[in-house]
Amino acid sequence: MTLVGTDVAPTEVALAGISKAPHTSEVRVTRIRPRDESTVGRLSKQKNARLTHCRPFPTACRDRNRACLNNVPVRKLGFLVVGVAAIVLSACSSTADTSIASDASVSEIIRPITISQKDVTAPAPFTDPWPATSAQRIVSLANGSGEVIVALGGARQIVGRDETSNAPEIVDAPIVTSGHEINAESVLALAPDLVLIDASSGPQEAIELIEGAGVPVVEVPEAWSLADIDPKVSAIGGAIGASVQAIDYVTALTSGTQELSLGSSPKVAFLYLRGTSAIYLLGGVGSGADSMISQAGGVDVGAQAQLGPFTPLTAEEIVELDPEVLLVMTKGLESVGGIDGLLQLPGIAQTRAAATRAVVAVDDTLLLSFGPRTGEVVIALHDAFSELIAP
């Protein structure tokens, strides 16, 4: 296996058995932007700020040599700890006032703002001919790598993908993973000449089986902040043999954006939710969402409190942090019964965000994928925050 790229973020254990997790996949929003040079210009105005995009799925593990939910013994411990967190939440509900502001005007005017694939326009792919010396049959399993390859002009070369690689140009390529679990037999059946993975990909046995069959496997760096996008794009471009011009084109799309500001920076809490599995986590430093929130003009309350990337959510903690806006991923919101279910969770019901129903739900494949569309996601978040905190 070849490791490509630099600045791979260090593994941080957020919860017993859970290492840097919630890069994810799923989708949904509404303001389509033209694919003209205005997008590139807007994203390149300030070269002193950086951009990026990442992956969804709750079992993402940043270091296969560390404890991970994909490992059965550790998975049991992880679920045990999460279960304890759920019990704490339930216990708190007996004493907390779970009433939510019932002002009909608030309920009707401020709805959950949803940011979906339709709301965030992908850049036009690089159009020069694909080099004959470059990889011709690529299986893209690294988080967000499929979208990067499409932007580099290699959509036709993708013969297999993971669930987070869902750009329209490659939806017909078969999915050969379940979450981050690779099906080695399905990969080899596609006769690839290159397989891209990242630190979340596994199990190791599947990777070794693919390598043993003589297929090159390249690990590219994950992205957990806007600044990680350029190294990620460059590593993917170098691994697949894209032209220098193509790599320069895509990195220019994601290399800079002005840090957006609001008249009053809203306090935002990022919640990673999987209600059907009793997983309720609060984002903190290094979750990936902290970078997006800051760039969009908000303040991540978990990061401000110096919490770890993903910390078990408790009623006491969220009440103390008292966010004005709740940021969630679409599938997570669905898993707790939508906005009404979310705002009735212990502790959340007592926040300012609950009082105004200030919730932003972003497609799982967009929020943490850190790629060519991340600049547009930042703008969409900024617009959503502006609307929710407007007088």
State the Cα–Cα distance between residues 358 and 352, nearest whole angstrom: 8
pLDDT in tens, 329-360: 999 999 999 999 999 999 999 999 999 999 99
pLDDT in tens, 357-388: 999 999 998 999 999 999 999 999 999 999 99
Of 85 and 384, the one with more pLDDT:
384
pLDDT in tens, 110-153: 579 999 988 998 889 999 999 999 999 999 999 989 999 999 99
State the Cα–Cα distance between residues 216 and 361, nearest whole angstrom: 38
CATH superfamily, with its number, for domain 128-254: Nitrogenase molybdenum iron protein domain (3.40.50.1980)
Q: Which residues of 210-226 are buried (b: 16+ CB within 10 A; e: fewer)?
A: beeeebebbbbbbbbbb
Helices and strands per DSSP (H, E), number in the chain:
16, 18
Residue pair 313/342 in contact by the 8 Å Cβ criterion: no
State the Cα–Cα distance between residues 323 and 353, nearest whole angstrom: 6
pLDDT band at 256 (very low <50, low <70, confident <90, very high): low
pLDDT band at 166 (very low <50, low <70, confident <90, very high): confident
